[in-house]
A and B are shown apart, each in its own frame.
Chain A
């Protein structure tokens, strides 16, 4: 089948990718978004967004749908929930194949593939997903009413979700690998003053125990190497995000955490390839910063496309 050519292809339909699509298609460039997951990316994981300027409070789903609508109305095409089966970025004409089936080419590509939740990396983790292991307190909290649970992590998500779970559960043990928390002061204070929460610091989970359902965890102290077993009915995991760069990190320059290195124009090491959003090396990962990256990447891509076409 013949490849369909676009001026620009954006990989990822989160806040960064959708913003880039709005700018590119509004500049009348033929634009395609190819997205491997759900439209909205991490925004969809957020029930209430209260810090997006100009919007009092909204759900991540609603804001995603509006961004998608804007991109589509300006003329962008979207292929979502597909799998990228081939990707060529280093040639002048970039190529993306999806589902071993359709091929698209473009003058410029914007990598806006964001991040995915970090896993514990213990073999039994996926076996127990939905049977005692959860990544979403608001989704699954009900199932643990009156039970003893563990929350893993020490950032804002871990502490805030732990505090919200105390309304339902009997007790919470927070297991964190460092001796201090990475969360904001307010979140730490709320967790510390809650009677239902206790802490095991400088420790990592080495095993999830259970036959069919989770019954406990094995925790190892990082300093003393001493192990202890904690009885629990469930484990909620909030240990941060890792960038989605597996498909191109061999050709695109990344740092030791696999985050893409760009200049201030969002340009990567390859001509015509830009990166935007959480997938980049940067300090603050928010919807506003993703939107800003997407805008800058798109405006620079527009300039690049127009110059190379002359």
Chain B
């Protein structure tokens, strides 16, 4: 399990329930590495401000992470973490590699309002 203060997605069933039952979801799929930790930290610091968004992490090396690893939007991704934004159950945006808090906020404001 990733050592973050975010909620962790621990199975494919849980993933399906989360994106079905919540309008706005952001999931960061990565490892405890230098490009991923800043994204988890930024997400933790945004949780209070974006009450309409559910924030989760997902361990890249677990079998159920295939949902993101093999997603069409991640086909060309070559950098961890893979960060996905879901609206009404659909992935509406995805990024690869490290992102700043500012870049994340811009995406949240544009896609998950």
Q: Chain A interface (Cβ within 8 Å of chain B)?
A: 37-39, 44-47, 59-61, 80-83, 129-136, 138-140, 143-144, 212-213, 234
Residues from chain A with Cβ under 8 Å of B101 in the complex: 81, 83
Interface residue B6 (Cβ < 8 Å from any Cβ of A): no
Chain A contacts of B76 at CB under 8 A?
A: 131, 212-213
Question: By the criterion CB–CB under 8 Å, are A136 and B35 in contact?
Answer: yes
- Nearest A residue to B39 via CB reads A38
Distance, CA A138 to CA B30, complexed state (A): 12
Helix, strand, loop or mixed for chain B's interface? loop
Q: Which of chain A's residues have a CB closer than 8 A to the CB of B102?
A: 83
Looking at the assembled complex, report how far the CB atom of A247 sits from the nearest CB atom of chain B, in whole angstroms. 15
Are A143's CB and B78's CB within 8 A?
A: yes
Question: What is the total of A-B residue contacts with beta carbons within 8 Å?
Answer: 76
Chain A residue nearest to B31 in the complex (CB): A139
Q: Which listed residue, B37, B78, B79, B95, touches A38 by the CB 8 Å rule? A: B37
The answer to whether B79 touches A130, judged by C-beta atoms less than 8 angstroms apart, is yes
Residues of B within 8 A of A144 (CB): 78
Partner among A39, A60, A131, A139 whose Cβ is within 8 Å of the Cβ of B35: A139
Q: Hey, which chain A residues are within 8 Å of B73, CB to CB?
A: none
Which single residue of chain B is at the shortest CB-CB distance from A214? Answer: B78
Contacts of A47 in B (CB 8 A): 33-34
Chain B residues lying within 8 Å of A212, measured Cβ to Cβ, are 76
B32 at the interface (CB under 8 A from A): yes
In the assembled complex, the Cα of A136 lies from the Cα of B76 at a distance in Å of 18
In angstroms, how far is the closest chain A Cβ from the Cβ of B74? 10
Q: In the complex, A111→B93 CA distance in Å?
A: 37
- Inter-chain contact A130/B33, CB cutoff 8 Å: no
A65 to chain B, nearest CB (A): 9
> What are 28 A-to-B residue pairs whose CB atoms are below 8 Å?
A37-B38, A38-B38, A44-B34, A44-B38, A46-B34, A47-B33, A47-B34, A61-B32, A61-B37, A80-B41, A82-B45, A130-B77, A131-B76, A131-B77, A131-B79, A132-B78, A133-B79, A134-B78, A135-B98, A136-B80, A138-B34, A139-B34, A139-B35, A139-B79, A143-B77, A144-B78, A213-B76, A234-B78
Residues of B1-48 whose CB lies within 8 A of A: 3, 31-38, 41-42, 44-45
* Partner pick for B79 among A61, A83, A138, A140, CB 8 A cutoff: A140
Q: Given A61-B37, A134-B97, answer yes or no on A81-B45 (Cβ-Cβ < 8 Å).
A: yes
**Count the B residues whose beta carbon is within 8 Å of the partner chain — how many?**
24
- Across-interface contacts of B35 in A (CB, < 8 A): 135-136, 139-140
Q: Which residue of chain A has the shortest Cβ distance to B32 in the bound complex? A: A61
B97 partner, pick from A44, A80, A130, beta carbons under 8 A = A130
A233 vs chain B, min Cβ distance (A): 9
What separation, in Å, do the CA atoms of A44 and B34 have in the docked complex?
6
- In the complex, A47 Cα to B37 Cα: how many Å? 12
Query: In whole angstroms, what is the CA distance A293 to B35 when docked?
Result: 27
Q: Which of A59, A60, A80, A136 gathers the greatest number of chain B CB atoms within 10 Å?
A: A136
Note all chain A residues with C-beta closer than 8 A to B80. 136, 139-140
- Given the complex, which residues of A lie within 8 Å of B41, measured CB to CB? 38-39, 80-81
Closest CB-CB distance, B97 to chain A, in whole Å? Answer: 3
Q: Which residues of A contact B44 (CB under 8 A)?
A: 81
A45 and B34 alpha carbons, distance in the complex (Å):
4
Report Cα–Cα, A84/B33, bound state, in Å. Answer: 26
